[in-house]
Structure 1
Amino acid sequence: MNKLLRFFSYHQPRRIRVIENTLRSRRTVATLFWARQYGILEWLGADRTLNRQEYDQLINQLVADKLLAIDDQSQAILTEEGAKVLKNEEESFYIPSFYDWYWLTNTQRIIQRLFLAIQVVSEFSYHQRKYVPLAISYGEMVAVKQWFRQNYHHDLVKTLYTDLHRFGSALESEDPRMTTDLFNVMIGYQRSGWTINQAAQELKIKIDDIQYLRHDEMLAVSAYARNFPGPLQQLLLPLINESPLNRSAQVTFDLYTQGEPIELIAQERRLKENTIREHLLEAAILIPDKLDWDILLPESKRDELSRFYKGEPTAWKFDEQIASFYEYRLYQIFQGITNEK
């Protein structure tokens, strides 16, 4: 079955580019907003290697198979047949365990850095210097080299093994398939890791879902490294985010929560006021519980907007005569969150 089918709905038209941008982690405010409305925000960055050509081919195949229908605004909805196929296939889907940590890191960088480090330490443990290292980006290769030079004389083989064993034991209790795959896909001395086909066959997971399984594994190891000191933390912590917000949005958010108005923040940061508003919209989408909504969008303004905008927020149409787009989007977010609760 086409791996994209799970991201569409029979009842709700969904923008095909939002789904693509969510999987690839193209973080615009519009993508984040619609991903939350569609209930797929936690899939942000789950398939960063997906390219436009591959994505469009998958969409076109769903349409050709009459499982998906697309309107002239590039919004797609499951056909009746598509809904039936999805329902029949759902039980066999891989269900992620750590996708709530979607914001934590770029898992493609984690997997490159982690797997090269494992390979280097494994070869080192057998005093092997002549081997072909994993082909990864130059920046990650340099980072692993620096990490190894700083740690190899501190009994690195033993401490890394202990760290991995502790992590693996914790992961085993969550989903044994993750542990099995993670430790079989690693490359080391006289050892090549599982291919995707091998993993799918051994774990009885669809080939299309192996990508999602490994994204889950890297979120898990990142969450572990974030909280437990050791070689993994030293290796991976530079890649781990402190907040769901990007760094610039976090600075704006911190200033705003200190009571500074948008105009002053823009002046201090030498940014446009619209950029500051974009940051606050991102915060409203990603960390709504940390916002004081009575300051961000006062109750009087919400009451005013409620007279014009009713029903499902995703069906509203913006009217500049009623409010600014910033206020309109904030109210959409607020009502969407209220509906979730």
Structure 2
Amino acid sequence: MEAADLIQVLTPQQARRLRVIENLLRGKKTVSTLYWGQRYQLLPLIGLDKTLDRGALDASARSLVTGGLATLDEENDQLRLTPAGIIAAQRDYYQPRTAEQWIQLDLMAARQRILLAIQVVSEYTHATRRYYPLMTDLATRQAVRAWFQRVKSDQLGQQLLQTLTNALEQLPEEVATVTTSLLTGYRHPGLTREQVAQAHQQTAWEVNLMQLDGLMQICQDARVAETPFTSLLSSLWQSPVTRSAQLTLEAVRQTGDLDHVAAQRRIKLSTVREHLLEAAIFLPLADFPYEQILTPELCRLFAQNLTGAIDDWQYTSLPTDLQKQYDFFYFRLYAIWIEKGGVLVDGRANSES
């Protein structure tokens, strides 16, 4: 991310931790990162740049601060846009249309599979016997090889072309152009993101977002209707909630007793709580059993002692006796519930949106 990209994920109203943004990109799914990713509305960034080095965004942040476009609270590692930054952020910058669905798919794996599959089919259609396949991981190569053997036919090239055309026609022309420019196939080596960015006078990250939008549209089409990509991508659709957290959540639904669930699943109570916070962050209000965990008394006490903006709430500012009575877990879960629109219904925390 260059400074021009980083400014797009900052706001003047909310101070945002640079390390949270960095950890989201790197795919670090700690509860703290996920919680603040939700608060910043940046969860779609999860895992989009897993090779990003720690501290890689620091130079971009310094550039924004030096240019007077953002202020930095060094003690808390928080950035906030200045009035000049608000104006600078309003430039014509591409906003992905499919971003809200990105966390439902292993998008990075899907990208590798789609790009390699297109190259393989393109070369096959032109009867090319020798070519250099795209560099991908072993799992991608195995998946594409098995897929190709299943779907191979004389009509596959035309079917794939029609599939790509149908998907990209649903997106802005520029997105379709960028997406196809990055493809590799017969006598078409494909451009790099940097080359496309230079041609379109954009940043490489902006080009990346456009490509992800194009590829996500292909994936969505393959999910709702049968296309050559359907079987290749079906295993990559996933709940953003980990399997282990799903099992914990289901056990809590059945008993409502966190200690019992910890013993039943042979995991620590702290792990049960982490699983529940993860599920609460990702799931809609109606899909999480808040009423089994947040008692009316807890909600009443927290409502009395936690006022103002949620971002400003501090667990340590609660009365000491309240901290002794309720672990930090309840404080965090209460904040998530409130953010998602939770209210008391008949004296209980509601589970209906």
Shared fold (TM-score greater than 0.5)? yes
- Go from structure 1 to structure 2 and tell me whether the alpha carbon gap of 1:38 and 1:136 turns closer, same or farther (over 3 Å shift): same
Separation in structure 2 between the aligned mates of residue 205 and residue 60 of structure 1, nearest angstrom? 21
Equivalent position of 1:181 in the other structure: 178
> Structure 2 matches for 1:144-159, cutoff 5 A?
144-153=144-153, 155-159=155-159
**Match of residue 209, structure 1, among 206, 210, 226:** 206
The alignment's TM-score, normalised by the length of structure 2, stands at 0.85
* Cα separation, 2, equivalents of 1:99 and 1:297: 31
Alpha-carbon distance, 1:65 to partner: 2.9
Shift of 1:36: 1.5
What's the CA shift for 1:31?
A: 0.8
Inter-partner Cα distance in structure 2 for 1:213 and 1:193? 15
2:101 is matched with 101
Cα offsets for 1:265-323 (capped at 9, x unmatched): 22332221211111111111111321232223123211111111111121111133352
- 2:137 is the alignment partner of 1:137: yes
Asked whether the equivalents of residues 249 and 283 of structure 1 are also in contact (C-alpha less than 8 Å), the reply is yes
* Residue identity opposite 2:152 in structure 1: Y
User: 1:220 — aligned with what?
Assistant: 217
1:326 counterpart (313, 324, 329): 329
Larger deviation: 290-299 or 69-78? 69-78
**CA shift in 2, pair 1:148/1:128, >3 Å:** same
Instruction: Look up the SS of the partner of 2:305 in the other structure.
Output: coil
Secondary structure, counterpart of 2:44 in structure 1: helix
Q: State how far apart, in whole Å, the 2-side matches of 1:57 and 1:23 are.
A: 16
- Paired AA for residue 43 in structure 1: L
Q: Distance in 2 between matches of 1:72 and 1:19?
A: 15
**Is contact 1:302-1:331 (8 Å) kept?**
yes
* Alignment match, 2:275: 279
Conserved in 1, the CA contact under 8 Å of 2:171 and 2:214? no
Unaligned runs of 5+ in 1: none
How far apart are residue 228 of structure 1 and its match?
2.3
> In angstroms, what is the RMSD of aligned CA positions?
2.4
Residue 197 (structure 1) shift:
4.1
223-232 vs 89-98, which deviates more? 223-232
Equivalenced residue count is 334
1:65 aligns with 2:67: yes
Larger RCO (CA within 8 A; separation ≥ 6): 1
Task: Give the stretch that moved more between structures: 197-206 or 51-60.
Answer: 197-206
Greater CA deviation, 256-265 or 289-298?
256-265
Pick the aligned partner of 2:39 from 37, 40, 44. Answer: 37
| 1:60-84 CA distance string (max 9 Å, x none) | 322333433333433323353xx32
**Distance change >3 Å, CA 79–CA 140, structure 1 → 2:** closer
Q: Is 1:263 the equivalent of 2:259?
A: yes
Q: Is the Cα–Cα contact under 8 Å of residues 45 and 102 in structure 1 kept in the other structure?
A: no
Whole-Å separation in 2 of the counterparts to 1:91 and 1:72: 27
Instruction: Note closer, same or farther for the CA distance 1:177–1:268 as it changes in structure 2 (3 Å cut).
Output: farther
Measured in 2, the distance between the counterparts of 1:273 and 1:288 equals 24
Could you tell me whether the CA contact under 8 Å between 2:26 and 2:51 is conserved in 1? yes
Q: Gaps (5+ residues) in structure 2?
A: 317-322, 343-352
Question: Displacement of 1:15 after TM fit?
Answer: 1.4
Whether 1:249 aligns to 2:252 is no
How far has the Cα of 1:153 moved from its partner?
A: 4.3
SS at match of 1:244: coil
